[in-house]
């Protein structure tokens, strides 16, 4: 016999059998329900004394029978498809009448059912029918349309198939329109949690937004939730989650990013409740590292951290894995391997650990025999959003014209530049620093910074417009010292086009920095000559032909 869902306790076997027989019913593909089905349903509900709910596939096949309200039905697997309907509908009874309830509507919405019908039952017979379906997201309006109550048999001749096809078409058309408007970029919603930190929580949310942007996301909504203690199950309240799900629908977002770290159980529960992709701060940061990893050592470390973080999140969860699909949180050296199972991941972790040891040994030996007379390397570091990448571009701008081969991009994040009176220099960009690096990621982060050890000079970019710029500087410098980085430093005070003159001066003085606007190209000559002085001071003489500032023919 087919399974009965919901509360079947205390039901007589004969009644259970009758309910089970509902599985044999079928509705023609273009009809909402048949007269026989409605009558049987009403009669059985009256006998049971509880509502009875049916889950029907679009082709009219019975998929599930539950004693209880719509929420008692199992959620169909693979029901959820971006911006489309799930292909399932719910037909159920209401013994007390009263139309569709709030839980009915939120079930409809969350699982994108094709439609939901409630049949009022009086004396074992159907009386009125209440119908609702989703509508394309509009500002200010409800996400569904509820039709006025009609006599139960009014829908028997209705061409449900055609109505549904029209609705799907409309939904798809709107989704296409939005895609055109947005351009690329994964649309994400940020959820910051204020556990009583006050303004600090706001800053952390700003930082989360920066991280999301760096990972290639488009932030369409930010929500700061005040919660002194996290909800053990959902981190935030259930009501808040429903709200966010609705925002996601209106904003066409498929991803929720939480500013706190979620336990594997929380992430799973939130995903289940919202049907959205759920990421936490650590996963977001891992994704950024994955984009910045470019040495074998860094790639191995990032993959290792990704797998370690992923492993506990895999328990009994084929579903979450398949949902990962693509986009933020799925990138990286291990990208293609995310599909493998737990055991294989365990093996991979083991192999990576050995690989990392091997590479480290190799590198120690390679460093000993580092070549003389090579092109000096200048690495750019700094807090996230300080303007490192903009500065790299500004310092190597001429390369963009693509005329001179000297300036051609070598690797995505290293470019050749030219310093007047000195010669060629390699500039290399790095991943931004952030406060509260998740402990699980420290090793991977350091690995992405490994190239710093090849640098002859480290440019430390400070954003003069940032609150706490001095503190950011200190955080970064402390970490560099911890890593044992000995290369000379030069502080670049950036964004002077927008900075308060007093802040700028204070930073310049306290950090002995060079003030620039990477965006407007101001102060770059001063910076170049400071760089040259440091390089020469560390025993890297100017290149012979460059002393006359004659540039070689490209």
Ligand X SMILES: Nc1nc2c(ncn2[C@@H]2O[C@H](COP(=O)(O)OP(=O)(O)OP(=O)(O)O)[C@@H](O)[C@H]2O)c(=O)[nH]1
**Distance of closest approach, residue 199 Cβ to ligand X, in angstroms:** 22
Cβ closest to ligand X, residue 8 vs residue 219:
219
Report the Cα–Cα distance between both ends of the chain, in Å, rounded.
Answer: 80
Q: How many CB atoms lie within 10 A of CB 113?
A: 26
Q: Could you tell which of ligand X, Mg ion, none binds residue 390, using a CB distance below 5 to 8 A set by kind? A: ligand X
Cβ closest to Mg ion, residue 112 vs residue 388:
388
Cβ closest to ligand X, residue 114 vs residue 463:
463
Residue 277 in the binding site for ligand X (CB under 6 A): no
Cβ closest to Mg ion, residue 281 vs residue 388:
388
- The answer to whether 432 and 385 have CB atoms below 8 angstroms apart is yes
Residue 306 in the binding site for ligand X (CB under 6 A): no
# chain residues binding ligand X, by CB under 6 A: 17
Among 65, 149, 469, 518, binds ligand X (CB under 6 A): 518
Cβ closest to Mg ion, residue 389 vs residue 404:
389
Q: Could you tell which of ligand X, Mg ion, none binds residue 83, using a CB distance below 5 to 8 A set by kind? A: none
SS3 for 88-135, per residue? EEEEEEECCCCCCCHHHHHHHHHCCCCEEEEEEEECCEEEEEEEEEEC
- Which residues 469-498 are close enough to bind ligand X by CB under 6 A? 494-495, 497-498
Cβ closest to ligand X, residue 82 vs residue 436:
436
**Residue with the closest Cβ to Mg ion?**
389
Cβ closest to ligand X, residue 213 vs residue 348:
213
Q: Which of 57, 104, 62 is nearest to 78 (CA)?
A: 57
DSSP characters over 179-194: HHHH-SSEEEEEEEEE
**Distance of closest approach, residue 528 Cβ to ligand X, in angstroms:** 16
- Pairing assessment for the beta strands 255-258 and 186-194 based on DSSP bridges: parallel
Tell me phi and psi for residue 521, to 5 degrees.
75, 20
Q: How many CB atoms lie within 10 A of CB 314?
A: 17
Q: Which stretch binds ligand X (CB under 6 A): 242-250, 277-285, 405-413, 514-522?
A: 514-522
Q: Could you tell which of Mg ion, ligand X, none binds residue 518, using a CB distance below 5 to 8 A set by kind? A: ligand X
Among 385, 396, 428, 448, binds ligand X (CB under 6 A): 385
- Residue 448 to residue 302: CA distance in whole angstroms: 8
**Distance of closest approach, residue 439 Cβ to ligand X, in angstroms:** 20
Query: What are the tokens at 338?
Result: 């995310």
**Distance of closest approach, residue 465 Cβ to ligand X, in angstroms:** 7
416 SS3 class: strand
Among 60, 137, 217, 387, binds ligand X (CB under 6 A): 387
**Distance of closest approach, residue 51 Cβ to Mg ion, in angstroms:** 56
User: 126 - beta bridge partners?
Assistant: 121
Task: Name residues whose C-beta falls within 8 Å of residue 293's C-beta, 6 or more positions apart in sequence.
Answer: 299, 301, 302, 332, 333, 444, 447, 448
- The answer to whether 304 and 140 have CB atoms below 8 angstroms apart is no
Q: Could you tell which of Mg ion, ligand X, none binds residue 448, using a CB distance below 5 to 8 A set by kind? A: none
Where does residue 111 rank: exposed (0-12), middle (13-18), buried (19+ CB within 10 A)? buried
Q: Which stretch binds ligand X (CB under 6 A): 74-82, 93-101, 318-326, 377-385?
A: 377-385
Q: Could you tell which of ligand X, Mg ion, none binds residue 358, using a CB distance below 5 to 8 A set by kind? A: none
Query: Where do the H-state alpha helices sit in 252-371?
Result: 264-274, 281-292, 296-310, 318-324, 342-368
- Pairing assessment for the beta strands 4-6 and 62-67 based on DSSP bridges: parallel
Residue with tokens 């204020």: 194
- The answer to whether 437 and 384 have CB atoms below 8 angstroms apart is no
- Residue 164 to residue 158: CA distance in whole angstroms: 11
Q: How many CB atoms lie within 10 A of CB 90?
A: 24
Query: What are the tokens at 544?
Result: 């012979």
**Distance of closest approach, residue 412 Cβ to ligand X, in angstroms:** 12
Cβ closest to ligand X, residue 45 vs residue 517:
517
Q: Which stretch binds ligand X (CB under 6 A): 159-167, 185-193, 320-328, 385-393?
A: 385-393
Cβ closest to ligand X, residue 132 vs residue 516:
516
**Residue with the closest Cβ to ligand X?**
432
- Which residues 202-261 are close enough to bind ligand X by CB under 6 A? 214
Among 426, 517, 528, 530, binds ligand X (CB under 6 A): 517
Residue 448 in the binding site for ligand X (CB under 6 A): no
- The answer to whether 346 and 353 have CB atoms below 8 angstroms apart is no
Residue 21 in the binding site for ligand X (CB under 6 A): no
- Residue 95 to residue 448: CA distance in whole angstroms: 63
Q: Could you tell which of Mg ion, ligand X, none binds residue 246, using a CB distance below 5 to 8 A set by kind? A: none
**Distance of closest approach, residue 463 Cβ to Mg ion, in angstroms:** 12
Question: In the chain, what are the helix, strand and coil shares in percent, each to the nearest 5?
Answer: 45, 20, 35
Residue 283 in the binding site for ligand X (CB under 6 A): no
Cβ closest to Mg ion, residue 40 vs residue 430:
430
Interface residues with Mg ion (CB under 5 A) are 388-389
Q: Which stretch binds ligand X (CB under 6 A): 110-118, 157-165, 196-204, 512-520?
A: 512-520
Q: Which stretch binds ligand X (CB under 6 A): 6-14, 382-390, 437-445, 481-489?
A: 382-390
- Residue 119 to residue 70: CA distance in whole angstroms: 12
Site residues (vs ligand X, CB under 6 A):
214, 382, 384-390, 432, 494-495, 497-498, 517-519
């Amino acid at each position: 016999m087919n399974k009965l869902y919901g509360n079947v306790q205390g039901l007589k076997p004969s009644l259970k059998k009758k309910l089970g027989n509902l599985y044999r019913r079928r509705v023609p593909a273009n009809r909402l329900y048949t007269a026989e089905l409605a009558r049987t349903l009403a009669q059985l509900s009256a006998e049971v004394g509880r509502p009875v709910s049916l889950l029907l596939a679009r082709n009219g096949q019975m998929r599930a029978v539950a004693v209880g309200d719509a929420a008692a039905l199992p959620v169909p697997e693979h029901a959820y498809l971006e911006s489309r309907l799930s292909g399932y509908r719910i037909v159920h009874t209401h013994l007390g009448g009263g139309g569709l309830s709030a839980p009915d509507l939120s079930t409809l919405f969350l699982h994108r059912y094709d439609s939901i019908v409630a049949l009022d039952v009086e004396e074992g017979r159907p009386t009125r029918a209440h119908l609702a379906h989703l509508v394309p997201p509009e500002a200010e309006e409800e996400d569904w349309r509820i039709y006025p109550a009609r006599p139960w048999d009014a829908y028997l001749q209705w061409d449900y198939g055609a109505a549904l096809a029209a609705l799907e078409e409309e939904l798809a058309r709107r989704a296409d329109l939005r895609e055109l408007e947005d351009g690329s970029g994964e649309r994400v919603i940020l959820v910051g949690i204020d556990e009583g930190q006050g303004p600090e929580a706001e800053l952390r949310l700003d930082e989360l937004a920066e991280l999301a942007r760096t990972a290639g996301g488009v932030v369409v909504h930010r929500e700061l939730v005040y919660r002194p203690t996290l909800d053990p199950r959902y981190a935030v309240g259930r009501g808040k989650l429903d709200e966010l799900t609705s925002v996601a629908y209106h904003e066409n977002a498929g991803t929720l990013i939480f500013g706190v770290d979620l336990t594997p159980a929380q992430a799973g529960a939130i995903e289940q409740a919202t049907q959205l992709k759920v990421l936490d701060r650590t996963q977001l940061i891992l994704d950024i590292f994955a984009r910045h990893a470019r040495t074998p050592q860094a790639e191995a470390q990032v993959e290792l951290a990704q797998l370690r973080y992923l492993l506990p999140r895999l328990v009994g969860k084929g579903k979450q894995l398949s949902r990962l699909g693509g986009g933020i949180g799925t990138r990286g050296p291990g990208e293609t391997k995310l599909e493998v199972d737990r055991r294989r991941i365990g093996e991979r972790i083991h192999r990576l650990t050995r690989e990392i040891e091997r590479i480290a040994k190799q590198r120690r030996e390679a460093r000993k025999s580092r070549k003389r007379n090579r092109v000096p390397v200048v690495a750019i570091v700094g807090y996230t959003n300080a303007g490192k990448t903009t500065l790299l571009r500004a310092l190597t701008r001429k390369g963009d014209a693509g005329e001179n081969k000297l300036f051609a991009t070598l690797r995505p994040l290293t470019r050749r530049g030219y310093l007047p009176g000195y010669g060629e220099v390699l500039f290399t960009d790095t991943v931004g620093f952030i406060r509260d690096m998740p402990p699980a990621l420290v090793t991977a982060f350091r690995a992405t910074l490994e190239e710093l050890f090849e640098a002859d000079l480290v440019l430390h970019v400070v954003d003069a417009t940032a609150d706490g710029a001095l503190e950011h500087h200190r955080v970064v410098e402390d970490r560099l010292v911890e890593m044992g980085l000995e290369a000379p430093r030069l502080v670049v005070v950036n964004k002077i086009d927008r900075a308060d003159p007093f802040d700028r001066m204070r930073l310049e003085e306290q950090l002995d920095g060079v003030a620039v606007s990477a965006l407007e190209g101001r102060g770059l000559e001063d910076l170049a000559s400071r760089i040259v002085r440091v390089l020469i001071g560390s025993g890297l003489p100017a290149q012979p032909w460059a002393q006359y500032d004659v540039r070689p023919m490209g």
